[in-house]
């Protein structure tokens, strides 16, 4: 249960470290598995907990975030928990207002239109003041997990956040945000730098609060081609890994494994392999063998089952998982979907996915 907040120290001893071992490239008896958006609307208990609450109010309640993070672990033998939160809490920390519009999703009341609008953003963000509720949620959840599995913290990456801040919500083309990259390259870099600095402090704060791994979501990488990615996304992705690690060392905090997930960025896998992350997450649009060839042997891979495969009958899910494990290999690998779970998915099929990963990877490891 997610009750009283104890001191961040004295966390329960970790019982299942398979996910962390795989992330660091150590041998594992089975391939660990977790799902992006595993705390989500596909669970009836999630819909019940969230029913009466505004989405961002839920994000600001450590107790509710803890409860939502734990729900999938009560159902499935997942190897990791990921804190319930949202990538848009960072633009909120910069002073932007976002509302959740039913049927439309997150919507910025005043998106950035002109370069002058950058002046409206907080130029210096105290992450503890602005995002302390996430840190509290992490600490509370880390205690409430009772050492069952590790807890992952996360953030959106600068380009993905910038694109939301300019588009004002979702977009199929990201044309407004991309036009900034072409028309206002200097201002774009100013904004990306500001975001990166906040993200660095935010991720370090998550580790101080108890996160045992970190994932950076570059969800909108697919809207960039190789050149724009090289100029406007990759330098900040690299810088975040480097700066987070050096700050963790300075503050004598644990050096936790970091995962980069750049959706639809197969054109950049070689660069991402050398960006300073222990794990590279993959979407479903790349062949496992190709990804392994580009990324090499020194980085763990995570992914990449097509989320829609979970609509298949359970036997078929088992076959697809077996094929995926044979293609990636069971070591230096974390099983996951190539994107988040969708709201209309059957929880039993999620269970079938998780169990198939454990069963087939154990079988392959034995033989």
Q: What is the mean pLDDT of residues 277-300?
A: 97
Give the pLDDT of residue 103. Answer: 86
50 is catalytic: yes
Strands 81-82 and 151-156: parallel
Q: Tokens for 158?
A: 């600068």
Distance CA 248, CA 256 (A): 9
Question: Are 258 and 278 a contacting pair, CB within 8 Å?
Answer: yes
Cα dist from 331 to 11, 151, 292, 367, whole Å: 28, 21, 12, 14
41 is catalytic: yes
231 is catalytic: no
CA-based torsion, 324, 330, 332, 334: positive or negative: positive
190 is catalytic: no
pLDDT in tens, 73-126: 999 999 999 999 999 999 999 999 999 998 899 999 999 999 999 999 999 999
Distance CA 188, CA 112 (A): 11
Cα dist from 114 to 4, 69, 91, 181, whole Å: 45, 38, 16, 13
Backbone angles phi, psi at 314, to 5 degrees: -60, -40
Strands 213-218 and 258-262: parallel
Cα dist from 136 to 60, 92, 128, 146, 298, whole Å: 9, 17, 10, 16, 34
Give the pLDDT of residue 9. Answer: 67
342 is catalytic: no
CB atoms within 10 A of CB 297: 7
Catalytic residue among 60, 79, 142, 164: 164
Q: What is the mean pLDDT of residues 235-243?
A: 99
Question: Are 177 and 238 a contacting pair, CB within 8 Å?
Answer: no
Q: Which helix (H) or strand (E) holds 217?
A: strand 213-218
For 49-82, what is the HEC assignment? HHCCCCHHHHHCCHHHHHHHHHHHHHHCCCCCEE
Distance CA 267, CA 292 (A): 14
Give the pLDDT of residue 323. Answer: 98
- Assign 258 to helix, strand or coil: strand
pLDDT in tens, 13-71: 999 999 999 999 999 999 999 999 999 999 999 999 998 789 999 999 999 999 999 99
The alpha-helical segments, DSSP class H, found in 210-313 are 226-228, 234-250, 269-273, 288-295
If one compares 209 and 2, the residue with the highest pLDDT of the two is 209
Strands 151-156 and 105-108: unpaired
Least confident of 3-12, 168-177, 212-221: 3-12
Question: Are 34 and 83 a contacting pair, CB within 8 Å?
Answer: no
Catalytic residue among 50, 142, 238, 292: 50
Distance CA 254, CA 106 (A): 34
Catalytic residue among 17, 21, 37, 283: 37
Catalytic residue among 24, 41, 75, 193: 41
- Assign 102 to helix, strand or coil: coil
Q: Tokens for 178?
A: 């991309």
The CATH classification number of 19-303+332-343 equals: 3.20.20.210
pLDDT in tens, 296-330: 999 999 999 999 999 999 999 999 999 999 999 99
Give the mean pLDDT of the chain: 97
Question: Are 328 and 290 a contacting pair, CB within 8 Å?
Answer: no
Backbone angles phi, psi at 79, to 5 degrees: -100, 0
Q: Which helix (H) or strand (E) holds 5?
A: none
Question: Could you tell me the pLDDT band of residue 353, with boundaries at 50, 70 and 90?
Answer: very high
Distance CA 227, CA 233 (A): 10
Question: Are 299 and 22 a contacting pair, CB within 8 Å?
Answer: no
Question: Could you tell me the pLDDT band of residue 1, with boundaries at 50, 70 and 90?
Answer: confident
Give the pLDDT of residue 52. Answer: 78
């Amino acid at each position: 249960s997610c009750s009283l907040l104890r001191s961040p120290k004295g966390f329960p001893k970790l019982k299942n470290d398979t996910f962390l071992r795989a992330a660091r490239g150590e041998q594992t008896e089975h391939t660990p598995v977790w799902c992006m958006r595993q705390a989500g609307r596909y669970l009836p208990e999630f819909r019940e907990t969230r029913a009466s609450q505004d989405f961002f109010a839920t994000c600001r309640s450590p107790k509710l975030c803890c409860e939502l993070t734990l729900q999938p672990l009560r159902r499935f033998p997942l190897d990791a928990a990921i804190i319930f939160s949202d990538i848009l809490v960072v633009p909120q920390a910069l002073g932007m207002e976002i509302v959740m519009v039913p049927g439309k999703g997150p919507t910025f009341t005043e998106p950035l239109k002109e370069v002058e609008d950058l002046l409206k953003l907080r130029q210096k963000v105290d992450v503890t003041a602005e995002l302390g509720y996430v840190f509290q949620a992490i600490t509370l959840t880390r205690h409430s997990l009772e050492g069952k599995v590790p807890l992952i913290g996360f953030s959106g990456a600068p380009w993905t956040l910038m694109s939301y801040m300019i588009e004002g919500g979702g977009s199929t083309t990201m044309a407004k945000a991309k036009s900034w990259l072409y028309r206002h390259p200097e201002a774009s870099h100013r904004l990306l730098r500001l975001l990166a600095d906040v993200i660095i402090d935010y991720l370090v704060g998550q580790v101080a609060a108890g996160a045992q791994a970190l994932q950076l979501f570059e969800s909108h990488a697919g809207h960039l081609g190789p050149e724009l990615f090289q100029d406007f996304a990759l330098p900040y992705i690299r810088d975040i890994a480097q700066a987070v690690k050096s700050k963790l060392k300075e503050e004598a905090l644990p050096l936790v494994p970091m995962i980069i997930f750049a959706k639809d960025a197969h054109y950049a896998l070689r660069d991402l392999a050398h960006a300073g992350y222990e794990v590279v997450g993959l979407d479903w649009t790349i062949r496992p063998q190709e990804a392994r060839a580009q990324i090499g042997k020194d980085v763990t891979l995570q992914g990449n089952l097509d989320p829609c495969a979970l609509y298949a009958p359970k036997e078929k899910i088992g076959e697809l998982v077996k094929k995926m494990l044979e293609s990636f290999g069971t070591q230096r690998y974390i099983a996951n979907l190539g994107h988040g779970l969708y709201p209309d998915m059957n929880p039993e099929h999620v269970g079938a996915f998780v169990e198939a990963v454990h069963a087939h990877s154990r079988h392959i490891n034995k033989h």
